[in-house]
A and B are shown apart, each in its own frame.
Chain A
Amino acid sequence: MSEFEPKITAFVCNWCTYAGADLTGTSRIKYATNVRAIRLPCTGRIDFMLVLKAFAQGADGVIISGCHPGDCHYTAGNYHARRRWVLFRSLLGFVGVDTRRIKFAWVSAAEGAKWADLVNETVAEIRQLGPFKQYQELLALRHQPIEVA
């Protein structure tokens, strides 16, 4: 394979985006194979440690998607996720991670085509950014003894 194929992990809520991705399937809309979706009850359940773990496992990009504001099955989980996301993104930016590697989106259960677009756009963008080597380099550092001057 000549072209770089990014590895993308998606964290989706059960009620909107997972159902939306199901609709993509029932509508037979094709999208890139690079994404692996992990189903959670709500985006509010997403501990951002999960995102870091996904990167640690070699993900080149992450998608987080849930219900549109106001549509959360649990009333407010997506608002909590959004707030946490704003903080988390600025933290990532601060430590030098390219925040384009994480996509935060709202995909409802009726937006099958939007899910396909989201995946395709993310794959295209990450493909341009290239493999997420820096994270692996950081991880490698972790196992080296710290030299005290």
Chain B
Amino acid sequence: MSRIGVFVCHCGENIGATVDCAAVAKSCGDLPGVVVSTDYKYMCSDPGQNMIKEAIRDQKLTGVVVAACSPRMHEPTFRRACAEAGLNPFLCEMANLREHCSWVHERTPETTDKAIDLVRVMAEKVRRNRPLYPIKVPVTKTALVLGGGIAGIQAALDIANAGHKVVMVEREPSIGGHMAQLSETFPTLDCSQCILTPRMVEAARHPNITLYTYSELESVEGFIGNFKVRIRKKARSVDEKLCTGCGLCTQKCPNKRIPCEFNAQLGLRSAIYVPFPQAVPNKPVIDRERCTFFLKGKCKVCEKVCPTKAIRYDQQDEIVEHDIGAIVAATGYEVKGTDFFPEYGYGKYKDVITGLQFERLASASGPTQGVMKRPSDGKTPETVVFIACAGSRDPAKGIDYCSKICCMYTAKHAMLYKHKVHSGKAYVFYMDIRAGGKMYEEFVRRAIEEDGVKYVRGRVARIYEEDGQLIVKGADTLLGGEPLEIKADMVVLASAMVASPGAEQLAQTLKVSYDPYYFLSEAHPKLKPVETNTAGIMVAGACQAPKDIPESVAQASAAAAKVAGLFSQSELSREPIIAVVNRSAPPLFSTCVGCFLCESACPYKAIEREEIRGRDGQLIKTVAKINAGVCQGCGTCVALCRSKSIDLQGYTNDQVFAEVMAL
């Protein structure tokens, strides 16, 4: 016989002012199975919880209904209190009198009637609750870090330094990401490579980090603590163990006319190449789409010159599998190319370049060794126009958001240009200057005041070429929208930062949600900024939203802290809200008829097949069986089961129908 306690909370005035709590408590005292029914000002307070605990002990309660706020708010609180008093926590349910009743209705008798109904529904449910026990799942203490940019490197190093194994996957032949391409960094103007490359080496040499470059994530299965991932190691066509990175092959390769990705298409590279001299690992890759041998079947120069015989034309993609406990997605961003802007020449003017290309022009390791030369004819540009918000904050371009870093890097670009070409003129067209950050505003002021960069508030409507110069037509909105025409030698677009290609596919592989711009979504914009909605998967860096280096690094460390926190436990406990297939003693064994409709419906592949055999070992029937570790408890299989053989713990048919019947 059930002995249920009903505890009605006033929540101060929140419930009490609208619902007659005393009347609710009095009325619910008469419900079948209810032995205690009382109200109190603040049920979640210490005295309130003690009241519940005492009632559980004194009245030997077998179930508790707390009629208070939303279960999404305080269910854990009250279940813990019940557990402390020796009652199985899953015998406690909450009726939502606040969010679903008192806050949304006026003080009328109907509101109190509704409150009573809500309590009655839960009382009927609790009478049918069964004790449940958390499911313990082991944790594999290895993290997977996707992306080898600064965010990925930071996350991997932090996790590895906390003593856990890390598998790091990078799509490109080298780690380093976009940060390796940058010349100098704002607001300190220190060299990007100088601060990044030691980190790259540290990550590659770390005993706890396994690095897969030129590799991509193939698939992910499983759940928090127990992911199984498959990684595709794309064929490098080079035996990494034999290659010493001497670079002879790249020097001798006859096909050296391929636009270099690392130099943002401004320089050229060979078909067998190392993306940049400081690459980690410093092992070349054959670009099979452009290699003469792969295209025409003849050449093999690299094989002839390789002193260690490391070239492997027949190398195949390799799939490696790893057991992983947590995943950090740090897949970064891409910038829109100049071809995205019809008004700025659709990419056909060579001297209209993106910010990233300017970084390469200004970089000491870039195609011009850091000497300011414009791409079309190598002339020193005397007038350079920088256009901020190119694409960003422009609904007409489908990019409504602010790319966040452009104000700062535009100021930096203008400054770098002025430092290299003292006589040059630099103009910056901007919408607003957003320089929020430590020493950021001061940096922009420095560009304007010390380096004499001319800031023009207005947008550039059009750019066209005339006599080897670029005519930039804009307006100065601070001078009443007066039209402005500047003859420039080079134009730099601070083009919009967008999610890295394949972000959508990655999100689907990881089963994490993403926003309309394919940036991965965090679980909560304020309180869970590094977790995703899928337990055990974190985000770091610009794959979540545009951000600069310090923010990416901070988020990466935060993600690493979350991973280390997860790995500090040897096993996780999960709520036992999972489906179960009924089983009974022979001769019935189970009512499951083995139609496996559930198998086709389950989004988690949690349905397994179990053979029931008699004593003689003969197969009686094959029934469904739920893998408790994989099941997430959606209950889709329950609603689909034709023979009503599956039930969802915590939301059993018995419970749910009783709730409906109580209305």
In the complex the two chains form, is B603's CB within 8 Å of A74's CB? yes
Of A7, A14, A22, A53, the most chain B CB neighbours within 10 A belong to A22
Q: Among B100, B114, B653, B657, point to the contact of A25 (Cβ < 8 A).
A: B100
Rounded to whole angstroms, the CA-CA distance of A94 and B108 in the bound complex is 40
Within 8 A of B (CB), among A85-127: 116
Bitwise interface map of B from 625 to 642 toward A, beta carbon under 8 Å scored 1, else 0: 000000011111011100
Q: Looking across the interface, which residue of chain A has its beta carbon closest to that of B98?
A: A25
Main secondary structure of the interface of A (DSSP, over half): mixed
Known: A38-B656, A71-B513. A25 touches B104 (CB 8 A): yes
Tell me how far the C-beta of A80 lies from the nearest C-beta in chain B, rounded to whole angstroms.
Answer: 5
Tell me how far the C-beta of B297 lies from the nearest C-beta in chain A, rounded to whole angstroms.
Answer: 46
Within 8 A of A (CB), among B613-661: 632-636, 638-640, 648, 651, 653, 656-657, 659-661
Q: Is B244 located at the chain interface by the 8 A CB criterion?
A: no
In the complex the two chains form, is A45's CB within 8 Å of B104's CB? no
Of A18, A36, A58, the most chain B CB neighbours within 10 A belong to A36
Known: A36-B117, A38-B660, A39-B71. A45 touches B638 (CB 8 A): yes
Q: Among B73, B111, B636, B660, point to the contact of A50 (Cβ < 8 A).
A: B660
In the complex the two chains form, is B636's CB within 8 Å of A44's CB? yes
Q: Contacts of A25 on B, CB cut-off 8 Å?
A: 70, 98-100, 103-104
In the complex the two chains form, is A77's CB within 8 Å of B656's CB? no
Q: Is B372 located at the chain interface by the 8 A CB criterion?
A: no
Rounded to whole angstroms, the CA-CA distance of A5 and B660 in the bound complex is 19
In the complex the two chains form, is B100's CB within 8 Å of A22's CB? yes
Of A33, A47, A57, A59, the most chain B CB neighbours within 10 A belong to A33
Q: Is A135 located at the chain interface by the 8 A CB criterion?
A: no
In the complex the two chains form, is A74's CB within 8 Å of B100's CB? no
In the complex the two chains form, is B108's CB within 8 Å of A33's CB? yes
Rounded to whole angstroms, the CA-CA distance of A146 and B216 in the bound complex is 68
In the complex the two chains form, is B635's CB within 8 Å of A44's CB? yes
Q: Is B487 located at the chain interface by the 8 A CB criterion?
A: no
Within 8 A of B (CB), among A1-37: 5, 7, 9, 14, 18-19, 21-26, 28-31, 33, 36-37
Q: Is B145 located at the chain interface by the 8 A CB criterion?
A: no
In the complex the two chains form, is A75's CB within 8 Å of B99's CB? no
Q: Looking across the interface, which residue of chain A has its beta carbon closest to that of B513?
A: A71
In the complex the two chains form, is B106's CB within 8 Å of A44's CB? no
In the complex the two chains form, is B648's CB within 8 Å of A19's CB? no
Within 8 A of B (CB), among A119-149: none
Q: Among B513, B604, B648, point to the contact of A41 (Cβ < 8 A).
A: B648
| Range class of the B interface residue count | 35 or more
Q: Contacts of A59 on B, CB cut-off 8 Å?
A: 663
In the complex the two chains form, is A36's CB within 8 Å of B118's CB? yes
In the complex the two chains form, is B104's CB within 8 Å of A116's CB? yes
Tell me how far the C-beta of A19 lies from the nearest C-beta in chain B, rounded to whole angstroms.
Answer: 6
Within 8 A of A (CB), among B565-580: 577
Q: Among A48, A53, A73, point to the contact of B533 (Cβ < 8 A).
A: A73
Q: Is A63 located at the chain interface by the 8 A CB criterion?
A: no
Q: Among A30, A48, A76, point to the contact of B636 (Cβ < 8 A).
A: A76
Q: Contacts of A57 on B, CB cut-off 8 Å?
A: 660-661, 663
Q: Contacts of B639 on A, CB cut-off 8 Å?
A: 44-48, 80, 84
Rounded to whole angstroms, the CA-CA distance of A24 and B70 in the bound complex is 12
In the complex the two chains form, is B513's CB within 8 Å of A44's CB? no
Q: Contacts of A28 on B, CB cut-off 8 Å?
A: 103-104
Q: Contacts of A19 on B, CB cut-off 8 Å?
A: 72
Q: Contacts of A49 on B, CB cut-off 8 Å?
A: 657
Q: Among A21, A33, A41, A46, point to the contact of B633 (Cβ < 8 A).
A: A41
Within 8 A of A (CB), among B135-187: none
Q: Looking across the interface, which residue of chain A has its beta carbon closest to that of B118?
A: A36
Q: Looking across the interface, which residue of chain A has its beta carbon closest to that of B71?
A: A39
In the complex the two chains form, is A50's CB within 8 Å of B657's CB? yes
Q: Is B348 located at the chain interface by the 8 A CB criterion?
A: no
In the complex the two chains form, is B117's CB within 8 Å of A22's CB? no
Tell me how far the C-beta of A40 lies from the nearest C-beta in chain B, rounded to whole angstroms.
Answer: 6
Q: Contacts of A47 on B, CB cut-off 8 Å?
A: 638-639, 653, 656
Q: Contacts of B114 on A, CB cut-off 8 Å?
A: 33, 36
Rounded to whole angstroms, the CA-CA distance of A73 and B106 in the bound complex is 33
In the complex the two chains form, is A21's CB within 8 Å of B100's CB? yes
Q: Looking across the interface, which residue of chain B has its beta carbon closest to that of A52?
A: B660
Rounded to whole angstroms, the CA-CA distance of A59 and B663 in the bound complex is 8
Q: Looking across the interface, which residue of chain A has its beta carbon closest to that of B102?
A: A25
Q: Is B110 located at the chain interface by the 8 A CB criterion?
A: yes
Q: Among A7, A26, A36, A50, point to the contact of B656 (Cβ < 8 A).
A: A50
Q: Is B601 located at the chain interface by the 8 A CB criterion?
A: yes
Q: Among B577, B603, B656, point to the contact of A75 (Cβ < 8 A).
A: B603
Q: Contacts of B632 on A, CB cut-off 8 Å?
A: 74
In the complex the two chains form, is A36's CB within 8 Å of B651's CB? no
Rounded to whole angstroms, the CA-CA distance of A36 and B113 in the bound complex is 11
Q: Is B82 located at the chain interface by the 8 A CB criterion?
A: no
In the complex the two chains form, is A76's CB within 8 Å of B633's CB? no
Tell me how far the C-beta of A92 lies from the nearest C-beta in chain B, rounded to whole angstroms.
Answer: 17
In the complex the two chains form, is B663's CB within 8 Å of A9's CB? yes
In the complex the two chains form, is A24's CB within 8 Å of B634's CB? no
Q: Contacts of B72 on A, CB cut-off 8 Å?
A: 14, 18-19, 22
Q: Looking across the interface, which residue of chain B has its beta carbon closest to that of A26?
A: B99
Known: A50-B657, A54-B663. A30 touches B105 (CB 8 A): yes
Rounded to whole angstroms, the CA-CA distance of A76 and B660 in the bound complex is 25
Known: A9-B663, A50-B660, A76-B603. A41 touches B577 (CB 8 A): yes
Rounded to whole angstroms, the CA-CA distance of A29 and B103 in the bound complex is 8
In the complex the two chains form, is B100's CB within 8 Å of A38's CB? no
Q: Is B4 located at the chain interface by the 8 A CB criterion?
A: no
Known: A33-B108, A76-B636, A84-B639. A40 touches B651 (CB 8 A): yes
Rounded to whole angstroms, the CA-CA distance of A49 and B654 in the bound complex is 12
In the complex the two chains form, is B635's CB within 8 Å of A38's CB? no
Rounded to whole angstroms, the CA-CA distance of A23 and B73 in the bound complex is 12
Q: Is B511 located at the chain interface by the 8 A CB criterion?
A: yes
Bitwise interface map of B from 470 to 499 toward A, beta carbon under 8 Å scored 1, else 0: 000000000000000000000000000000
Rounded to whole angstroms, the CA-CA distance of A122 and B430 in the bound complex is 50
In the complex the two chains form, is A45's CB within 8 Å of B99's CB? no
Q: Looking across the interface, which residue of chain A has its beta carbon closest to that of B97?
A: A25
Q: Looking across the interface, which residue of chain A has its beta carbon closest to that of B94?
A: A39
Q: Is B61 located at the chain interface by the 8 A CB criterion?
A: no
- In addition to A9-B663, A22-B100, A41-B577, 12 A-B residue pairs with Cβ atoms within 8 Å of each other are A14-B72, A22-B70, A22-B72, A25-B99, A30-B104, A30-B105, A33-B108, A38-B660, A46-B639, A57-B660, A74-B604, A116-B104
Q: List 23 A-B contacts (CB under 8 A).
A: A19-B72, A21-B100, A22-B73, A22-B100, A23-B99, A25-B70, A25-B98, A28-B104, A33-B114, A38-B656, A41-B633, A41-B635, A42-B634, A42-B635, A44-B639, A45-B636, A45-B639, A45-B651, A47-B656, A50-B657, A53-B657, A77-B603, A80-B640
B positions within 8 Å CB-CB of A:
70-73, 96, 98-100, 103-106, 108, 110-111, 113-114, 117-118, 121, 511, 513, 533, 577, 601, 603-604, 632-636, 638-640, 648, 651, 653, 656-657, 659-661, 663
- The 7 residue pairs across chains A and B that have the minimum distance between CB atoms: A25-B99, A45-B635, A44-B636, A74-B634, A25-B103, A75-B603, A42-B634
